[in-house]
Amino acid sequence: MGEFLRGQIANMADVNIETLRYYEDQGLIQTPIRSESGYRLYSDEVLIRLAFIKNAKLCGFTLKEIKKALTRCKDHSISVADFIDVIDRKINSINKEISKRENTKSMLSHLKSSLQTTNKDPEVQVVLQTLNMNS
């Protein structure tokens, strides 16, 4: 089992030291043991957990969701089916967000197109120039 100082594990996990402190405070990683000199010593398990947290965040999970998953894993109260359900809910949430963004984009494109018609009102033209939308 490896023991790593705070700076070492931060570099290895590609997180900053403040993130380590925050994760400790939030209970996402265990409080490290202390060396005789008082330095925090982190284990390999913390490095694995940091990689899990980082990957889960990249998949769009919140720290609250990640903590819940880690707690349930530790308690052995989550099954593969539960994980699949959580993933399905996250995918549905992302799909809804994509749909909202596509609708917003469509509305903006329509607005832009309407404003760029040949019968431009002079006041609208000033607004377009101000917004730099009359290219």
Q: For residue 76, what pLDDT is reported? A: 81
pLDDT of 116 > 90? The answer is: no
Is 98 found in the same domain as 49? no
Does residue 84 belong to any structural domain of this protein?
no
Q: For residue 114, what pLDDT is reported? A: 72
Give the phi and the psi of residue 20 in degrees, each rounded to 5: -60, -45
Which residue range(s) make up the domain with 99? 91-131
Q: For residue 79, what pLDDT is reported? A: 86
Which comes out higher in pLDDT, residue 119 or 48?
A: 48
Does residue 58 belong to any structural domain of this protein?
yes
Does residue 85 belong to any structural domain of this protein?
no
Q: What is the mean pLDDT of residues 13-17?
A: 95
Is 55 found in the same domain as 12? yes
> What's the predicted TM-score (pTM) here?
0.71
CB 50 within 8 A of CB 42: no
Q: For residue 122, what pLDDT is reported? A: 66
Number of folded domains that form the chain:
2
Is 127 found in the same domain as 70? no
